[in-house]
Amino acid sequence: MSNEKLIIYTDGGARGNPGPGGLGVVIYNGKKEVIDKISEFLGVVTNNQAEYKAVIAALKKAKELGGQELDFYLDSELVVKQLKREYKVKNKDLAPLFLEIHNLSLSFKKISYTHIRREFNAAADALANEAMDRGV
């Protein structure tokens, strides 16, 4: 099965904002079968930094998997609107992360970002929380 089209759910969080943070990523192939998961402790970050770092981790993994068309689903409306360039990135700590995503995205044919309600992002959220639990 080709991994050219990937469906990716990402989540990031921090307890305390800033505080101990983690990211979670679930990557599906075109048949909606899980092909990879990431759960990573980030140290002290803000919620938004964790959300961005989750997208970065997913982009790096998608490249390894041979992905070309990526459909991202995030429960952070701010990050989705920034990545779609509907909102400007004014936070100086997020700007380098935004730039890293931009540079990584050049490796792919097509990327879409969709905001979803938190309850539809439970698997990625659980991985982010597991990472925070491990790191605290």
The string of pLDDT tens digits covering residues 25-70 is 999 999 999 999 999 999 999 999 999 999 999 999 999 999 999 9
| Sequence-distant (≥ 6) Cβ neighbours of residue 101 within 8 angstroms | 52, 55, 56, 59, 83
Q: How confident is the model at residue 4 (pLDDT cuts 50, 70, 90)?
A: very high
Domain residue spans of the chain: 5-135
Give yes or no for residue 1 having a pLDDT over 60: no
Token pair listed for 125: 């959220």
| CATH superfamily ID and name for 5-135 | Ribonuclease H-like superfamily/Ribonuclease H (3.30.420.10)
Q: pTM to 2 decimals? A: 0.96
To the nearest whole percent, how much of the chain has pLDDT over 90?
Answer: 96
Query: What's the CA gap between 57 and 94, in Å, rounded?
Result: 15
Strands in 69-74's sheet, in edge-to-edge order, are: 34-45, 19-28, 5-14, 69-74, 110-115
Residue 42: both structure tokens together:
């980030």
C-alpha closest to that of 25 among 69, 67, 74, 94: 74
Q: What digits encode the pLDDT tens for the residues 110-128?
A: 999 999 999 999 999 999 9
For residue 132, pLDDT beyond 70: yes
